[in-house]
Structure 1
């Protein structure tokens, strides 16, 4: 049996996909054993169902599965045909936080972003599209806000060729333009661009009058261009940006090094970077035997991820009742609970393996 969802308004869109708000059907509200949040963001290729879009969605799911959970990376709850089930950001993205973000707040966001990137890089991936639109905000447990990195559709393995530039030109690094290199330094350059943009309200690198995207990127790659730090930024902030904007990627600081920079290392109010989400509504006690899993009566909770979405006819014009096969999604919920067991290493649920890890 599939879990029924009401698909609502569009909350985001891009060249390859559309993101909808989705809520669990009211008849499931009392199912306190459901391991999915009540509200989700559903990333769909239904408006552009070409092979390239479907591949990007599949690739993004694969990357998020291999990364696992991190407090500063948007959670993924599974995939069905043409749909990716993601954590819903109640507060929107960083670019909607206002044209100018106070430096004290921005320091915390930069720290959260670097935590996410440090983890992504340690797992062998490069995000390749760090920008304010892909940094989502959530209410934090301490009363502040938590930034999480999202949209891994363009992520690549460290060292791989990008296969042509597919990111956003305003945040591209010189080596990505010149050589198509895909390394962690690419993301670090973009971090500097994000910080400068959010503190000044203007992009760190802008096109000149009459300049197109191609000539703009050529100027970045061959013109020895280094962005200028905003005047209103503190001296610590300006030094931080200079570490991000080293043109030679070998001299550019890593995310882990930047986490020790005074601009982000000394920010206040960041003791707890865990967001409040619907996980808090889940039952506190784990089931102790297979009879306590209510969903086992209706489907194979370890089922495959293949399965098409179906839309019931007769739905209202503003929402559609969508039945998304939840074998994959709910099985990831069980896997997620297992992942929370104390262990010395994180299991890679995305790979077929017969190996075991020791848990306490």
Structure 2
């Protein structure tokens, strides 16, 4: 197959989501990811967003799009994307056996995620579906480290655009999105991790879900400074939430570790043992 004059071959299936499948694509012996789907409008929208926000090295790179035809004559819409050899942040969390990410990993991945959010918001976009499954781990080409990169912009929107329904996975929605279907830059700071067993498919506003958000627990032994950081980041009122830029400059020496907890990678997964050593944080 050919994309913008460059020939490539579709390889093995490496992932599958609600709107398409991801295959390996190999042009000139360099591996890339190929997102193939049957939702042309959604994929065209993602391509448009990726074009608009290009310029940040921490965002999953986009190499182009095209339409191919199967042997049966069916049209297939393709996006050629950067290959993430390290998988996703969600995969890394799942491999932790319920312990969450080590602090070293959180500190390594947090800065790039914040830099990406700052860039996305400056381009007047809101990601809307930020969650561990949509954060790719890409090995650095210059060092031995792994860089966290935000991906999957199919549900992204302009900051002032309004919609009649949720543009996210329900379990990661902010309180204002759940109640008022409002998603702006502050919503990207708040990907939620609900109680184990909660369904990803929520048809009505669940009072228990809102109660969980209001009474999220933070480890009781955490310092006052870090608690202040988390309360600001997770405030119920979006106007009192820290922006991505403020998170980068917050005077907390363990800001990266704290943000990792805010992103649901090691906190907010209630269990009897965990509740024994936590305290309810008043939400403002």
Give the TM interval when normalised to the shorter protein. Answer: 0.7 to 0.9
Paired position in structure 1 for 2:202: 213
Q: Is the CA contact (8 Å cut-off) linking 2:169 and 2:200 kept in structure 1?
A: no
Q: Distance in 1 between matches of 2:222 and 2:56?
A: 30
Matches within 5 A, 1:25-174: 28=28, 38-45=30-37, 49=38, 53-81=39-67, 82-97=77-92, 98-99=95-96, 100-140=100-140, 141-174=142-175
Aligned length: 239
CA displacement 1:108-139 (0-9 Å, x = unmatched): 31221111011101110000011111011112
Q: Distance in 2 between matches of 1:68 and 1:211?
A: 31
Gaps of at least 5 residues in structure 2 are: 68-76, 258-284
Matches within 5 A, 1:259-270: 259-263=248-252
Q: Distance in 2 between matches of 1:80 and 1:155?
A: 20
Q: Distance in 1 between matches of 2:59 and 2:150?
A: 5
Q: Is the CA contact (8 Å cut-off) linking 1:19 and 1:44 kept in structure 2?
A: yes
Larger RCO (alpha carbons 8 Å, 6+ apart):
1
Residues 207, 68 of structure 1: CA spacing in aligned structure 2 closer, same or farther, 3 A cutoff? same
Residues 113, 234 of structure 1: CA spacing in aligned structure 2 closer, same or farther, 3 A cutoff? farther
- Counterpart selection for 2:229 from 236, 240, 248: 240
Q: Secondary structure at the match of 2:195?
A: coil
Q: Is the CA contact (8 Å cut-off) linking 1:169 and 1:217 kept in structure 2?
A: no
Structure richer in strand, relative to its length: 2
Paired position in structure 1 for 2:186: 185
Q: Is the CA contact (8 Å cut-off) linking 1:175 and 1:221 kept in structure 2?
A: no
Residues 144, 58 of structure 1: CA spacing in aligned structure 2 closer, same or farther, 3 A cutoff? same
Residues 4, 227 of structure 1: CA spacing in aligned structure 2 closer, same or farther, 3 A cutoff? same
Q: Is the CA contact (8 Å cut-off) linking 1:44 and 1:83 kept in structure 2?
A: yes
Q: Distance in 2 between matches of 1:267 and 1:151?
A: 23
Q: Distance in 2 between matches of 1:210 and 1:156?
A: 25
CA displacement 1:151-182 (0-9 Å, x = unmatched): 00000100211330131122100111111112
Q: Distance in 1 between matches of 2:11 and 2:247?
A: 40
User: How much does 1:262 deviate?
Assistant: 4.3
- Counterpart selection for 1:7 from 6, 10, 13: 10
Q: Is the CA contact (8 Å cut-off) linking 1:177 and 1:218 kept in structure 2?
A: no
Residues 118, 181 of structure 1: CA spacing in aligned structure 2 closer, same or farther, 3 A cutoff? same
Q: Secondary structure at the match of 2:121?
A: helix
CA displacement 1:74-110 (0-9 Å, x = unmatched): 0101111200010000111011223221113202312
Residues 158, 211 of structure 1: CA spacing in aligned structure 2 closer, same or farther, 3 A cutoff? closer
